[in-house]
Structure 1
Amino acid sequence: MPSGVVLLSDRWQARRPLTEVVEAAVAGGVRWVVLREKDLSRAERAALAAELRAILADVDGRLIVAGPDPLDGDAVHLPAAGPYPPPAAGLVGRSCHDATELDRLTTEDYVTLSPVFPTRTKPGYGPPLHAAGLRELITTSPVPVLALGGIETPAQVRECVAAGAAGVAVLGALMRAHDPTELAAALIGAAGRADHGRPQTPTATKEDNE
């Protein structure tokens, strides 16, 4: 299940070629990558997915593909709008933003909740949940939660994990980083320290919330 720091791709924001950014983040400890790049053709995305899987294979990492097409893999991340029910896949995530969207979940394995903080990637998107809103939604989620949106610093990672998140999903900060390896290591270290120190609370089930 995705945890720690999950990297979301955006080659338009990347300081280097996307594969180089991913390689650098993996060197810093990232083991989960979500391939977006939805403006590419299927053939182009599939070729890129194969390149990224090769990078991740060296560290037993895993690629998740945004959208219902897994691009010859077995892990997808779906938008809040659909499809419902989710397609059959080895791992299925979904983007959520509020309690109504969480309540629609059926067989998904995990969700992202966003935006947690104001984000430069999507300025004006929100309003941001902040730690308190994130914590409240996590208590109602039937599956593990990744915090997403505006996460750029170790302090923000610690806030999210302390609120109950299984990890954080990071896009802009790692794509734009001068040194993705250094930043990834710092964020992952913060996630690990915060997780070690937080009390263990059970995740809600859908039955608990009905």
Structure 2
Amino acid sequence: MNPTEWRTYLVTQESRSAGRETAAVVEAALSGGVDAVQLREKGRPARERYELGRRLRDLTADAGVPLIVNDRIDLAAAVDADGVHLGQSDLPAEIARGRLGDEAIVGVSASTVPEARAAAEAGADYLGVGAVYRTGTKDVPDETNGVGPERVAAIADAVDLPVVGIGGIDAGNAGAVTAAGAAGVAVVSAVTAAADPRAAAAELREVVGDGR
């Protein structure tokens, strides 16, 4: 479960899953070899996210893959997730650590070197860096929507934490992200919207493995 070993990291979003339920997409992606799953599903009621989180907890536990919850420390605790991923506007990493314990995986989004250094000082276990390429998957300020592999390289050089590139990444450009110093890549649509999520996850894992 060490983030330094993650190659492919699936972030869920049912609205970009071609009409399929998130649990079905996650199950297929796990069979394709994803190394981590993040429950995102922003906009869904907390009760629905909790129920989905319990289902994903079972799937990921069976596969031996960590489950991370986006933003919500309380939800991560409620579904017995392995950790939480926090944005710059969320509660600080040290709060998550205090609530979830020393064994929890705490990830933090960073798009600049100062943000990355602050996250490292706060005790983050890994960084989600991006958006590497321009993306419409979520609201991203223009100044950080498409920071490029160059920013990944700058952040990877600045901190002693594994970096996961995110934003607009697919099998066609993932190699450039790992070549810049990322341990792995996080994706939404490249897997969730694929005709065959299992095959898409397997292809992405192969590309990232070749680039590491």
Q: Secondary structure at the residue paired with 1:193?
A: helix
User: Could you list the runs of 5+ residues in structure 1 that have no partner in the other structure?
Assistant: 196-210
TM-score (structure 1 length as normaliser): 0.86
Runs of 4 or more consecutive aligned structure 1 residues displaced over 6 Å after TM superposition: none
Equivalent in 139, 150, 172 of residue 189 of structure 2: 172
* The one of 14, 21, 33 aligned to 2:17: 14
Segment of structure 1 superposing worse, 107-116 or 63-72: 63-72
* Identical-residue share of aligned pairs (%): 32
Distance 1:123 1:65 in 2: 18
1:182 to 195, 199, 211: 199
Is the counterpart of residue 147 in structure 1 residue 165 in structure 2? Answer: yes
Using the TM superposition, give the Cα deviation of residue 133 of structure 1 relative to its aligned residue in structure 2, in angstroms.
2.2
1:203 corresponds to: none
Match of 1:204 in 2: none
Answering whether residue 106 of structure 2 is matched by residue 92 of structure 1, we say: yes
CA-atom RMSD, angstroms? 1.7
Asked whether 1:83 is paired with 2:91, we answer yes
Which whole-Å deviations, capped at 9, do the CAs of 1:138-197 have from their partners, x for residues lacking one?
1112311100000012x41111111111100001221111111111000001111111xx
Establish whether residue 41 from structure 1 lines up as the match of residue 45 from structure 2: yes
Aligned counterpart, 1:198: none
| Residue 123 of structure 1, CA deviation | 7.7
Superposed displacement of residue 58, structure 1? 2.1
Which residues in structure 2 correspond to 1:1-210 (within 5 Å)?
Answer: 1-2=2-3, 3-15=6-18, 16-67=20-71, 68-69=73-74, 70=76, 71-73=78-80, 74-84=82-92, 85-88=94-97, 89=100, 90-105=104-119, 106-122=122-138, 125=142, 126-153=144-171, 155-195=172-212
Residue 206 of structure 1 corresponds to: none
Task: Flag structure 2 segments of 5+ consecutive residues without an equivalent.
Answer: none
**Higher helix fraction: Structure 1 or Structure 2?**
2
User: Which whole-Å CA distance do the structure 2 matches of 1:30 and 1:78 have between them?
Assistant: 20
Q: Compare 162-171 and 37-46 and name the one that shifted more.
A: 37-46
**Is 2:165–2:184's contact at 8 Å kept on the other side of the alignment?**
yes
Range with greater deviation from structure 2 (184-193 or 35-44): 35-44
TM-score, with structure 2 as normaliser:
0.85
**How far apart are the structure 2 equivalents of 1:100 and 1:81?**
15
How many residue pairs match? The answer is 194
